[in-house]
Amino acid sequence: NSFGGLGDGTTEDRLAPVDVTGLSADVSSVATGVDFTCAVQKGGAKCWGSNDSGQLGNGAYESSATPVILPGLESGVAAVAAGVLHACAAKTNGEVWCWGENLAGELGDGTGQNFPIPVQVVDLGGEIQSVVVGGNHTCALTKAGGVKCWGWNNWGQLGDGTTTNRLTPLDVVGLGSGIAAISTGMGHTCALTSGGGVKCWGYNYSGQLGDGTTTNRLIP
């Protein structure tokens, strides 16, 4: 709790659960990043903890040991996702907004510049049902069951067949439909198909892709 990531108003480590200040009820989604946390309460996004890259999304760069409100995301948020130094929110209208570090394009706004307030992800080409955040990359699941990713791509974690970082979303090769859920790790990504199968891509040094090798994969 060195940076207030537990949200109890202190920076004391805790060996048992403590209530997050002001979030004792009506929370529908929560996500943990590295030393910071975000939640959705009554449709509004709130974050707390470390904030050196603007990952709390409140326009400042100071850490906060209690939840802060994100401008522009006071309502209409379905869920939040958090990574190392950035976070994103999926809105009920199908939009995705992200904030924090953006050096590899993980905010998806096309700039590659950090933003301490939420910015809208561009070129999603349709409504999004969920968003997931990896180490420095982001992926979204469309309502049509397709997968799009953007950001850091040095191990192929975007699944577009290259190792080129992307500032805006691109389709994952072969996953234009038929996907039920997605999940991201530090440098790899996986998808659950509507038929109950699993496809993975990206960093595979420890065999995290589950294909029987330790070879990185640039496509699922």
Chain segment 71-86, per-residue pLDDT in tens: 999 999 999 999 999 9
Mean pLDDT value of segment 181-205 = 98
Residue 220 pLDDT: 98
% of the chain at pLDDT higher than 90: 99
199 pLDDT more than 80: yes
**Rounded alpha-carbon distances, angstroms, from residue 155 to 33, 53, 122, 184, 219:** 21, 23, 23, 13, 10
126 pLDDT more than 80: no
Burial class (CB in 10 A: 0-12, 13-18, 19+), 13: exposed
This prediction's pTM: 0.96
Dihedral, CA of residue 30, residue 190, residue 115 and residue 161, to nearest 10: -170
DSSP 121: P
**Rounded alpha-carbon distances, angstroms, from residue 193 to 119, 174, 196:** 30, 12, 5
Which residues sit opposite 88 in a β-bridge?
Answer: 81, 98
Cα(96)–Cα(196) distance, integer angstroms: 26
Q: Which strands make up the sheet holding 36-41, listed edge to edge?
A: 27-32, 36-41, 44-49, 64-69
Place of tokens 């999926």: 90
Residue 193 pLDDT: 98
What is the per-residue pLDDT across 129-155, written as a single tens digit (0 to 9) for each? 999 999 999 999 999 999 999 999 999
Question: In 10 A of CB 177, how many CB atoms?
Answer: 12
Q: What six digits make up the tokens of 113?
A: 């510049």
